[in-house]
Every structure is written in structure tokens, then in C-alpha cells.
Amino acid sequence: MAWVFAYGSLMGDAVLGRYSARPARLPGYHREFAHESRRRWGSPDKPCPIVGLAPGGECWGIAYAVPAEDEARIARSLARREAAEERRRQTQTVQTPDGDVPAWVWVSSPTRRAGDPATLETRLRAAHGIVGNGTEYVRTLVHALDLHGLRDPLVDGLWARLRS
């Protein structure tokens, strides 16, 4: 069995949604708006800031248990979606209520900062891609975290700004 640690849009991914999931903590990394979506959530002229993992702190997310018979298929699917030039797959230990597990984690490298909250809000409001817009992207993060009783100050703060 393989474990996949989801901390961004993968938390609500339909492909992973069929597998057993539990809250998980990844020590040593935190969410940061370090990437841009130029297709799914944004466009080339108005990219949507999206989260990645940056060193330091901790990140709460979801650990999905992928059965051995599905590992290769899921690995291929996620490689196409997640393994962009600015991310690399690593195996990191994540902490779950049932104990520590080695999980596939996509870590940002190098990260770019999305700016102060006001600039980030402006960019999220302007972005619109084939899946949705920047506000909807943040809403999907909030919803996925809520489903598992998790909070993230960065995401919560942005959602409060975007809802007003």
C-alpha cells in the first residue's frame, strides 16, 4: 500500500476520494501560495496563486491509503498533475491518528511568494480558469479541510477576505 499526502486541491480530488482517508500532519513544511495555475484555476494573463509546500512549520492535510493494485495508476496520474517543474515528489513521514506512515508528498522547489494578503486577494479574485476561479479554489481548500476537522490560518484568513 502507498500513502498520498494531500494538502491542496488533491484533498478534494475525485480519484483519491474513493480511498480511505485520515487527517495527517507533515512536520517541517507549511502551506504557501508558491505556484500559479495558468489553466485549471487561472489563465496565462491572470494566473491563479495556488498552494505548495515550503520548508518550516507544519502542514495538516489528508493521508489517502492507496491499495497496492492501484499504486502504479495513481502514481502515473499524480505525476502528470503534480510533478510540474517547480514540484518534486518525495517520500516523507506523516503523522496520522493511527501512527506514522511514509507518504508521497509533492514539495515546492523553489518557491515564489505570492505577496501580502491584499495582493494575494486581488490576484485570486482576478483569476479564472477551466475548472473555476481563484475564490472557488480557496473555497475548495476550506471545504476539504473542514471535512476532516482541520484548520489552516493562511487559508482561513484568505477565505475571510474573499467572502466579504
CB neighbours of 146 closer than 8 A, spacing ≥ 6?
none
Please state, in angstroms and rounded to a whole number, the distance separating the CA atoms of residues 135 and 159. 8
Instruction: Give residue 152's Cα distance to chain centre.
Output: 12
Residue 92: φ, ψ to 5° = -125, 155
Q: Which three cell numbers stand for residue 56?
A: 518550516
pTM value > 0.85? yes
Beta strands 2-6 and 48-66 are antiparallel
Per-domain boundaries in the chain? 2-157
**C-alpha distances in Å from residue 37, one per residue of 61, 69, 86, 133:** 20, 31, 12, 10
Residue 39: φ, ψ to 5° = -135, -60
* Domain topology for 2-157: Hypothetical upf0131 protein ytfp (3.10.490)
pLDDT truncated to tens, each residue of the chain (164 aa)?
999 999 998 898 888 999 999 999 999 999 999 888 999 999 999 999 999 998 999 999 999 999 999 999 999 888 877 756 778 889 999 999 999 999 999 998 766 676 788 999 999 999 999 999 999 999 999 999 998 899 999 999 999 999 98
Single out the residue of 85, 77, 109, 80 nearest to residue 2, CA to CA. 77
Single out the residue of 141, 98, 133 nearest to residue 6, CA to CA. 141
Please state, in angstroms and rounded to a whole number, the distance separating the CA atoms of residues 31 and 18. 24
Peptide linkage before 110 cis (omega within 30 of 0): yes
